[in-house]
C-alpha cells in the first residue's frame, strides 16, 4: 500500500493557522522562531493573529503557508515516526513544501525562495494586471476552445469538474461570458491579486530563474511530482527549470493525482492548513483514501 504526502498552495491560509503546533510542540515552535529570524519579521504572529489583509499578501502568504505545513509535517514525523511516504506533491507554492519534505532544499532556503517568489509575483501583478476565473462543470475540451477565443489560459486543472482560467481582465471577462453561454454550472471571478500561472507572470519567472541559480538543491529522497509535467522531476536541474516554468505554466493537478493512483498509491495525507487538496482528490479518484494534518487534533484522529 503506497502513500503520498501533499502540501497545499495559496488560498488555504486562515488566521490562527499553526498556533496549536507552536503552543504544543517545541520542535514546531522552533520552526516558527527560525522562520521569523530568516524572514526578518514576525511571520508567526501574522499566521496566528493576522490581520487577514496582511496574511493575504503574497509575500506573507507563501512563507506563512509553508511554515505551517512544515510544522504539521514535523508534528506528523514526531507522532508517527514509522510512517513512510513513497511520493510527495504540492499545489503551486505547495510544491516547495514537497521539495522540502523530500530533502531537496533546506527549511531556511525554502523560506528565502518563497519570500522572493511572493515579492516577484506581486511585482508582476502590478506590472501586468490580470484576473482569474474558476469554472465548474464544463468539459475541458470546450473550455480549451473558450480560452483560445478569449486569449486566456487554463491555469489550474484542479479536478475533472473544476478548472481555473487566468489572463488579462478583459480576457477573463470575455471567458466568463462564454463559459456561462456554454452551460458552465458556475463561472466565478476569484479575489486574487493577478493572473497567476499565466504568461503575465513572465517577469516573476525571469527573476526566479536568476534567484534559484544560487540556491543549493539536492536529489530528492522520494519522487516529487512537478506541477508543470504531472510526473516526477527527472533530475536536480529539471527541478530548477520546472520551478521557474511553474510560475507561468499550468498546474496539472489532475494528471499528478492520476499518476499517483496509477503507481498504486492508495492513501494521501494533506499536510498543512485547509482541506482543499483532500477535497480535490475525492473528486479525482474516490478509491484513494484521504486525510489531513492541519492541527493537533488531526494527529490524534
pTM as predicted: 0.96
State whether 213 and 120 are in the same domain. yes
**183 and 205 part of one domain:** no
Our count of domains for the chain comes to 2
Q: Are residues 249 and 231 in the same domain?
A: yes
Same domain, 163 and 102: no
| Residue 108 and residue 234 in one domain | yes
- Nearest-angstrom CA–CA distance, 293 and 14: 15
- CATH number where 213 lies: 3.40.366.10
102 lies in the same domain as 182? no
Q: What is the spatial distance between Cα 128 and Cα 133, in angstroms, rounded to a whole number?
A: 17
| CA dist 14 → 6, 19, 27, 74, 273 (Å) | 18, 11, 22, 20, 7
pLDDT, position 46:
97
29 lies in the same domain as 169: no
Domain of 251? 2-126+198-300
Residues 145 and 233 grouped into a single domain? no
Strand partners, 157: 163
| Tens digits of residue pLDDT in 25-61 | 999 999 999 999 999 999 999 999 999 999 988 889 9
Q: Are residues 246 and 115 in the same domain?
A: yes
Task: Return the CA Rg of the chain.
Answer: 18
Helices assigned H by DSSP within the chain = 19-24, 26-39, 43-49, 52-55, 58-79, 94-101, 107-127, 140-150, 169-181, 202-212, 236-248, 253-262, 276-284, 296-300
Q: How many residues does the chain have?
A: 301
10-residue stretch averages of pLDDT, the chain, 301 residues long: 96 94 97 97 96 90 96 96 96 97 98 94 95 96 98 97 97 97 94 93 97 97 98 97 97 98 97 94 95 91 74
Grid cell digits, residue 88 = 510527495
Q: Give me the CATH number covering residue 155.
A: 3.30.70.250
pLDDT at position 58, please? 84
Angle at 212 between CA 166 and CA 97, to 5 degrees: 65
Other CB atoms closer than 10 Å to residue 55's CB: what's the count?
A: 21
- Coil, helix or strand at residue 45: helix
User: Dmax of the chain from CA atoms?
Assistant: 55
Which of 189, 207, 235 terminates a domain? The answer is 189
In this prediction, residue 299 carries a pLDDT of: 86
Structure confidence at residue 14 (pLDDT): 94
Q: Does residue 241 share a domain with residue 157?
A: no
Residues 121 and 133 reside in one and the same domain:
no
Based on the fold, state whether residues 178 and 120 are members of the same structural domain: no
Catalytic residues: 92, 197
Sheet containing 2-7, strands listed edge to edge, beginning at the edge strand earlier in sequence: 87-90, 2-7, 265-271, 289-293
Cis peptide preceding 53, ω within 30 of 0: no
Amino acid at each position: 500500500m503506497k502513500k503520498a504526502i501533499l502540501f497545499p498552495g495559496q488560498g488555504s491560509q486562515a488566521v490562527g493557522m499553526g498556533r496549536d503546533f507552536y503552543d504544543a510542540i517545541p520542535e514546531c515552535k522552533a520552526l516558527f522562531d527560525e522562520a521569523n529570524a530568516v524572514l526578518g519579521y514576525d511571520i508567526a504572529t501574522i499566521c496566528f493573529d493576522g490581520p487577514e489583509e496582511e496574511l493575504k499578501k503574497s509575500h506573507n502568504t507563501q512563507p506563512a503557508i509553508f511554515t505551517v505545513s512544515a510544522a504539521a509535517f514535523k508534528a506528523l514525523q514526531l507522532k508517527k515516526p514509522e510512517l513512510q511516504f513513497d511520493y510527495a506533491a504540492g499545489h503551486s507554492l505547495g510544491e516547495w513544501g514537497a521539495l522540502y519534505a523530500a530533502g531537496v532544499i533546506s527549511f531556511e532556503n525554502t523560506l528565502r525562495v518563497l519570500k522572493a517568489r511572493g515579492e516577484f509575483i506581486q511585482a508582476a501583478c502590478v506590472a501586468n494586471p490580470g484576473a482569474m476565473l474558476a469554472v465548474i462543470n464544463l468539459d475541458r475540451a470546450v473550455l480549451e476552445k473558450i480560452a483560445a477565443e478569449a486569449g486566456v489560459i487554463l491555469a489550474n486543472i484542479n479536478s475533472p469538474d473544476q478548472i481555473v482560467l487566468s489572463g488579462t481582465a478583459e480576457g477573463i471577462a470575455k471567458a466568463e461570458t462564454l463559459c456561462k453561454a456554454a452551460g458552465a454550472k458556475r463561472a466565478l471571478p476569484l479575489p486574487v491579486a493577478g493572473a497567476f500561472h499565466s504568461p503575465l507572470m513572465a517577469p516573476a519567472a525571469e527573476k526566479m530563474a536568476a534567484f534559484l541559480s544560487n540556491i543549493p538543491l539536492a536529489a530528492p529522497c522520494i519522487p516529487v511530482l512537478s506541477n508543470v509535467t504531472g510526473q516526477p522531476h527527472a533530475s536536480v536541474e529539471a527541478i530548477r527549470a520546472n520551478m521557474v516554468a511553474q510560475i507561468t505554466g499550468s498546474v496539472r493537478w489532475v494528471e499528478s493525482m492520476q499518476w499517483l493512483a496509477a503507481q498504486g498509491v492508495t492513501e494521501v495525507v494533506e499536510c498543512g492548513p485547509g482541506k482543499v487538496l483532500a477535497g480535490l482528490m475525492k473528486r479525482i479518484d474516490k478509491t484513494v483514501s484521504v486525510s489531513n494534518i492541519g492541527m493537533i487534533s488531526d494527529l490524534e484522529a
